[in-house]
Amino acid sequence: MASGQNKKSAEQVARYADMLSAMGTEPRLRIMQLLLSAHPEGLVVGDIQEELEIPNSTLSHHLDKLKNENLVLVKRESTFLRYTANTEALQELMQFLYSECCTRNKALRPRDIIEICR
């Protein structure tokens, strides 16, 4: 592997680690789960807060962390902020994990992953 590819690969792994870390708290994982269930419309902050019962200041912190790692997208609608899950970023992360565990060394059978998703 060329040195440039090693650097790119290391940068990708670092980025994926940051993404996983951002989702690595219970409130943020619950936010991601909620936004995925509301996909593609997403939810406004008040609806997220009401559903998860997270204080506004804390929710803002969690949403910022997820946004900084490109896991959620935000769009202003008049006085509201609408958040949606960034499914492209999540797909990229899942492909990274899948390529290692299911194709190269066959740690898991691809069929098992598909069955879990049904």
Query: What are residue 108's phi and psi, to 5 degrees?
Result: -130, 150
CA distance 36 to 87: 8
Does pLDDT of 17 surpass 50?
yes
N-terminal to C-terminal alpha carbon distance within the chain: 37
Does pLDDT of 58 surpass 70?
yes
- In terms of C-beta density within 10 A (0-12 exposed, 13-18 middle, 19 or more buried), how is residue 56 classed? exposed
Tens digits of per-residue pLDDT, 96-109? Answer: 887 766 666 666 66
CA distance 2 to 49: 47
Residue 47 CB coordination number (10 Å): 15
Walk me through the domains of the chain, giving residue ranges and CATH numbers: 14-117 (1.10.10.10)
Does pLDDT of 72 surpass 60?
yes
Does pLDDT of 1 surpass 60?
no
Which residues, in sequence order, are CB contacts of 42 under 8 Å at separation 6+? 35, 73, 75, 82, 83, 84, 85
